[in-house]
Amino acid sequence: MPACSHLERITPVAAAGPAECTECAPAGDTWVHLRRCLSCGHVGCCDSSPGRHAARHFRATGHPVVVSHEPEESWGWCFPDRAFLDLTGPAGSGEGTPR
């Protein structure tokens, strides 16, 4: 499985707003799951959602890594490397490594 070459260069940023898709909520649209950009905190919907705003954010900004913004989920995705990231880390530290 490919490794992420971007995670170590990012200082994670908290969500920029409430737990809703930044683009879907104002339009009254719905989403399936949320993803948070580690570079700027943008919250967008997943690729299973009609808007696919997390992926659109990556294409617009080049910010490479998103993490799940769902409760009880500790994983991420590196768009350029197409790598799944296990973010559970040692003792649930959130300092996970790509797997």
Query: How remote is the C-alpha of 86 from its chain's centroid?
Result: 12
DSSP string, 9-35: G------SSSSS-TTHHHHT---S-EE
46: its two tokens: 């997943």
* pLDDT for residue 29: 97
Q: What are the residue boundaries of the structural domains of the chain, listed by start?
A: 9-69
- Using an 8 Å Cβ cutoff, are 44 and 54 in contact? yes
pTM for this structure?
A: 0.85
Neighbouring CB atoms inside 10 A of 55's CB total: 18
Mean pLDDT per block of 10 residues along the chain (99 residues) reads 82 87 96 96 97 98 96 94 86 43
* pLDDT for residue 97: 43
Specify the fold of 9-69: Herpes Virus-1 (3.30.40)
* pLDDT for residue 77: 96
* pLDDT for residue 91: 40
* pLDDT for residue 26: 96
- Using an 8 Å Cβ cutoff, are 21 and 45 in contact? yes
